[in-house]
Structure 1
Amino acid sequence: MDHLSQRIDVPVVKDEENEIPVPSIWRPVFRNIVSAFAKGDYSLESGVDCVLAIAPDTANQIEEYIHDYGENLIELPEESWDTSVCIWMGERWDVLVDLWTEGEGRSDLVLSAKVSESKSGFIFEVYMVYVP
């Protein structure tokens, strides 16, 4: 399939008025987070560069939500970038990444995260996985 997100490099933009596609430079980090979740590593014990540690309570909630949803998460396909978005909130970006499952393909689940700038790049904080 020829997806728009594969053809263009999506820049990091500070736009408080509009949701924009997830910047290309962030996508590998989100792929690694979802890959860990798909393997049952909800606290990111295996470590993902630039991602803050996930609190045990948050990791337990993420695991419960995914388990209660009743489907197995899979790695993010390229199509997930066609519908995943972020918006600048003045000091950080709020990001929603659409998640995919074995049985459904694109699911109703989203990964909610916050991304902040730092002197060394970007810092990612997983907020929650849920059905909006």
Structure 2
Amino acid sequence: MMTEGVQKNSDRELPVPKKWRPMIADIVGAIVRNDFSFEDLNVRVEPPSEKLQDYIRESIGDYGCTLIALRADVWKHAVYICFEDHWQVIVDLCSEEEGVSDLALHLKVHDDIVPKFEISSVHVP
């Protein structure tokens, strides 16, 4: 179970669990390719609404940099915290121009046999 051993930490942020990192990296790769269907991933992702997809594209466009795959150093600052029925994760995105950028992926992880990821937003916190 991919959520087994993940702390239900509601009092403080913790580093994103190592077992979630490859899945999150795959989700980011799809966003970089502008593929919001997530069909080719081995990850359960709730496809975002058209409105959210438009907002994410707009946020990325307004930011003005070219997104790339996650670099290893993003995990130094990537965090999660538990709410009643999910974990909230924040991961900085990477760009060609800046490396690790201020633009961040915000997503929810729902506890299940196979975790289900749900994108909340992409914006500068």
TM-score normalised to the size of structure 2? 0.90
Counterpart of 2:122, as a letter, is V
SS in 1 for 2:31: helix
Match of 2:14 among 3, 17, 20: 20
| Aligned residue pairs, count | 120
Deviations 1:28-69 (A, max 9, x none): 11101111111222x235443211111111111101110111
Match of 2:44 among 38, 43, 50: 50
Q: Which has the higher contact order (CA 8 A, sep 6+)?
A: 2
Distance between the aligned counterparts of 1:115 and 1:59, measured in 2?
18
Match of 1:90 among 74, 84, 87: 84
Counterpart of 1:50, as a letter, is R
Contact persistence 1:94–1:113 (CA under 8 A): yes
1:33 maps to what in 2? 27
SS in 2 for 1:98: strand
Distance between the aligned counterparts of 2:39 and 2:82, measured in 1?
29
1:121 maps to what in 2? 114
2:124 maps to what in 1? 131
1:59 maps to what in 2? 53
Distance between the aligned counterparts of 2:8 and 2:67, measured in 1?
30
Specify every segment of 5 or more residues in structure 1 that has no aligned partner in the other structure, as ranges. 1-10
Specify every segment of 5 or more residues in structure 2 that has no aligned partner in the other structure, as ranges. none
Offset at 1:93? 0.5
RMSD (CA atoms): 1.3
Counterpart of 1:66, as a letter, is I
Distance between the aligned counterparts of 1:53 and 1:37, measured in 2?
11
Distance between the aligned counterparts of 2:53 and 2:14, measured in 1?
27
Deviations 1:87-118 (A, max 9, x none): 01122101101111000111110000000112
Contact persistence 1:38–1:74 (CA under 8 A): yes
Contact persistence 2:78–2:91 (CA under 8 A): yes
1:3 maps to what in 2? none
Contact persistence 1:74–1:101 (CA under 8 A): yes
